[in-house]
Chains A and B, each alone.
Chain A
Amino acid sequence: MKPENAAKKNSLNEEKKPRRIRRADLVLLAGIAFFAVLLFFFFLWKDHSITSPVLEISSGGKILGQYPLSENREIRIGEDKNYNVCRIEDGKVRITEADCPDHSCIRSLPIDGRGGTIICLPHRLVIRITGGTGNIPDAVAE
């Protein structure tokens, strides 16, 4: 306990004069940015491996259905309350309507065969493009 307290006091005293930006700061900033870019390219690479894209709708970890992208359609998820309306149009998928409080799912950029995810957190809804399975025919699994 004692040494810890002493360390705390030390750091407090040191921080009386907040320092200018230091080299360690820059290293940390660059490190985080590098990690983020690396992750970004990892997901890009993962999307690249999608061969036969299908739209997968899941909620709370349970897959509700898979749909082909080739067919234009509107899918309503949920009941009167807590609903999202998802539209497939010309191979692009977006949420057009929802009654969630933040509507960030509607603002999300549309996703297409190249991959991507739309998420509605309040409704625990995940809409994403998958294609690893490959053997799902153009039929609808509802």
Chain B
Amino acid sequence: MNKNRRISENPPEKTGLFRTDSPAAKIALLGLLTALAVIMGYIEHRIPLPLPVPGIKLGLCNIVIVFVLYRFGFLRALTVSIIRILVIGFLFGSPVSMFYGFFGALLSLSGMALLMRSGRFSVIGVSAGGGALHSIGQIGAAAILTAGTGIFRYLPVLLLAGEFCGALIGLIDRTVLKRLGKQRNEGII
């Protein structure tokens, strides 16, 4: 219902390659972005970081997620994220890793949406906050699974790692948004 209303509120842009606000164009584009996010996850899966602390990843797919969050809003970013976690989970992961993924994604996406809407932060801050929240979410999920608080000992390291990787992703996304933002008005995106 919400979706329909938003589409009807925005009259379709007819410039450029195709009507960017048509539902079909949006679905196609979001499908493309989801596939890209899955590929990013695959690449990351193939390059494990040999670190003594588990759970540190660059989070390449978050380039896509943050992009979708900025261009299409929270709900679609969440949808893309959930589909990505399901696909990656079924392909390479386990139910356990999917559980972590959901927890981390939900927390970080909600946080990023709030940070974004507050209007005070740039993409870098939003993404860094999301990275840190992702770490907290994963630790929380791990604490639930191992039923112990011992895991919280990893939190300081994971927080810093999440913040750093998030800031990096934000830096990339700033450029991506800048470039694709121009094209958006020309109707490619």
Tell me, in angstroms, the Cα distance from A32 to B2 when the chains sit together: 35
Where the two chains meet, the residues of B that have a C-beta atom closer than 8 Å to any C-beta of A are 2, 6, 9, 48, 50-55, 70-71, 73, 94, 96, 115-117, 119-125, 128-129, 132, 142, 145-148, 150-151, 153-157, 159-160, 163, 167, 173-174, 177-178, 181, 184
In the assembled complex, 16 residue pairs joining A and B whose CB atoms fall closer than 8 Å, in A order, are A11-B117, A12-B73, A15-B70, A17-B181, A18-B177, A25-B124, A33-B163, A36-B160, A58-B148, A58-B150, A61-B146, A107-B51, A117-B150, A121-B142, A122-B94, A122-B96
Tell me, in angstroms, the Cα distance from A117 to B52 when the chains sit together: 12
Are B151 and A29 closer than 8 Å at their CB atoms?
Answer: no
Cβ-closest chain A residue relative to B122: A19
A25 CB → nearest B CB, Å: 3
Cβ-closest chain B residue relative to A40: B156
A86 CB → nearest B CB, Å: 15
Tell me, in angstroms, the Cα distance from A4 to B128 when the chains sit together: 24
* Chain B interface helix/strand/loop/mixed: helix
Are B160 and A108 closer than 8 Å at their CB atoms?
Answer: no
Residues of B with C-beta under 8 A to A11: 116-117, 119
Residues of B with C-beta under 8 A to A75: none
Residues of A with C-beta under 8 A to B117: 7-8, 11
Are A116 and B54 closer than 8 Å at their CB atoms?
Answer: no
Tell me, in angstroms, the Cα distance from A36 to B132 when the chains sit together: 10
B173 CB → nearest A CB, Å: 8
